[in-house]
Amino acid sequence: MSVWMRLTGASHPDPDTQRLATFLGNGAQGVEAEIAPGRSTVGLVTFTPETVCEPRCYTGLDLTTTEGERWLTSAAHEADALLTAQRIERFAAQTRTHKLTLHLHTTQVLQTPVEISTEYIWPRLAVASGIITDEASDENPSKNEEEANGEKVSPKIEKKSAGTDEKNRSKIGNAGLIPVSGEGQMWVRIRNPSTRPLYLQMSLGGALNVPLPTEAGGDATWCKTQKCVWSDCFSIKGWKHVSGKAQLWDENYLVNSHNGDEATIDGMGQKENVTNGSALPALLMAPHAEIDVQIVFAPKQAESLTTFLYLRNNLTILEGVQLFGEGAFPSFDLGGRRPGLSSVFHFEVSECAGVKRRVVARNT
């Protein structure tokens, strides 16, 4: 027999659940919801782990405090790396997993237990990257023809998604193989993983004297698996909005916060691509907002080249994204022969007649 019922409420049987988890029903009154026979979604559980470690949390730096204001006016990446390491050490001392119980009440059954299991991970801002190519896509078979007709053609993007596992994360920052004196472009996706606005400064730079912790970009494997050269052949072209809201940093944000006013993030503004090549102006990102940072890779030598994109922020303090690519001299062969004085073609002529031979040129 199938019985319809209504969700009437939820309760927290223990202090930890009450402190960490909040239940919001999806009914018209915010709690009550109809439960049909079978499976039904009756609400959303919000988990707030920062309540465990307040007021000295391992992540998050309040810019309205003395410590936050001092950090905001400084820009020493070595000091940021040390501060990040201290906070990761504090994070490691926390209990990583929590098992909680929530009681749901319906018109038919009271105190139905719902088990909740959570696990903490260190937040990362860089979530994916990809290479931008000029090749025509299936929808745009001839890029040059459409440009000649005055139509704007979006470049084809080869996405290289990445997650939290080591195998996928190692792909973030790959600029690919580019000929020497040529130019390639890539994008790196940055996401604000927190429920609070994020202050973000992005700049390029070499390896630090203070190594980055593994959780903050020190897990990059490019220079560990092969010889590489730290280079200035990478530059920042700009950034663009993907989802949520992001804008240039405004000092009025702190003024409003000090006054207790609610600070708003309006959008992107008109100066989103202002850059000097090695750094972008500071940004303010709304919770869960995403942007793409466009990087230009122009190798000047035939080597494996690398640099870091540093993400200075008030959530994890400092995160490094290792950008890497390979410069190469294009090679060319004609009929399977490399260029050079010894690469001659020899034809045997047995009759007094014209000789025709098929020769294949290959760009390698």
Tens digits of per-residue pLDDT, 119-162?
888 899 999 999 987 653 334 433 333 333 333 334 455 544 44
More confident: 305 or 270? 305
- pLDDT for 224: 80
Quick check: is 203 in a domain? yes
Average pLDDT, stretch 329-357? Answer: 65
Quick check: is 193 in a domain? yes
- pLDDT for 308: 95
- pLDDT for 269: 41
Domain boundary among 72, 87, 119: 119
Is it the case that residue 202 has pLDDT exceeding 60? yes
Alpha-carbon separation of residue 48 from 19, 119, 120 (angstroms): 8, 12, 11
The verdict on 78 and 195 lying in the same domain is: no
Quick check: is 357 in a domain? no
Is it the case that residue 51 has pLDDT exceeding 60? yes
More confident: 251 or 235? 235
Lowest mean pLDDT among 124-138, 272-286, 294-308, 344-358: 344-358
Quick check: is 350 in a domain? no
Burial call 13-25: b when 16+ CB within 10 Å, e when fewer:
eeeebeebbebeb
Q: Please, what is the average pLDDT of the chain?
A: 77
The verdict on 161 and 211 lying in the same domain is: yes
CA-CA distance, 59 to 104, in Å (whole number)?
Answer: 32
More confident: 180 or 171? 180
- Total domains, the chain: 2
More confident: 154 or 85? 85
Each residue's pLDDT tens digit, 158-167: 544 444 455 5
Q: Provide the pLDDT confidence category of residue 355 given band limits of 50, 70 and 90.
A: low
Quick check: is 336 in a domain? no
The verdict on 48 and 189 lying in the same domain is: no
The verdict on 205 and 243 lying in the same domain is: yes
Average pLDDT, stretch 40-55? Answer: 72
Quick check: is 113 in a domain? yes
- pLDDT for 32: 65
- pLDDT for 187: 95
The verdict on 169 and 312 lying in the same domain is: yes
The verdict on 88 and 167 lying in the same domain is: no
Is it the case that residue 99 has pLDDT exceeding 70? yes
- pLDDT for 326: 93
- pLDDT for 22: 73
SS (H, E, C) the chain: CCCCEEEEEEECCCHHHHHHEEEEECCCCCCCEEECCCCCCCEEEEECCHHHHCCCCCCCCCCCCHHHHHHHHCCCHHHHHHHHHHHHHHHHCCCCEEEEEEEEEECCCCCEEEEEEEECCCCCCEEEEEEEECCCCCCCCCHHHHHHCCCCCCCEEEEEECCCCHHHHCCCCEEEEEECCCCEEEEEEEECCCCCCEEEEEEEECCCCCCCCHHHCCCCCHHHHCCCEECCCEEEEEEEEEECCEEECCCHHHHHHHCCCCCCCCCCCCCCCCCCCCECCCEEECCCCEEEEEEEECCCCCCEEEEEEEEEECCCEEEEEEEEEEEECCCEEECCECCCCCCCCCCCCCCCCCCCCCCCEEEC
The verdict on 242 and 270 lying in the same domain is: yes
The verdict on 135 and 251 lying in the same domain is: yes
The verdict on 224 and 75 lying in the same domain is: no
Quick check: is 89 in a domain? yes
- pLDDT for 75: 75
Q: Which domain holds residue 70?
A: 5-119
Quick check: is 317 in a domain? yes
- pLDDT for 54: 67
The verdict on 133 and 89 lying in the same domain is: no
Q: Provide the pLDDT confidence category of residue 331 given band limits of 50, 70 and 90.
A: confident
Is it the case that residue 270 has pLDDT exceeding 70? no
The verdict on 113 and 195 lying in the same domain is: no
The verdict on 43 and 177 lying in the same domain is: no
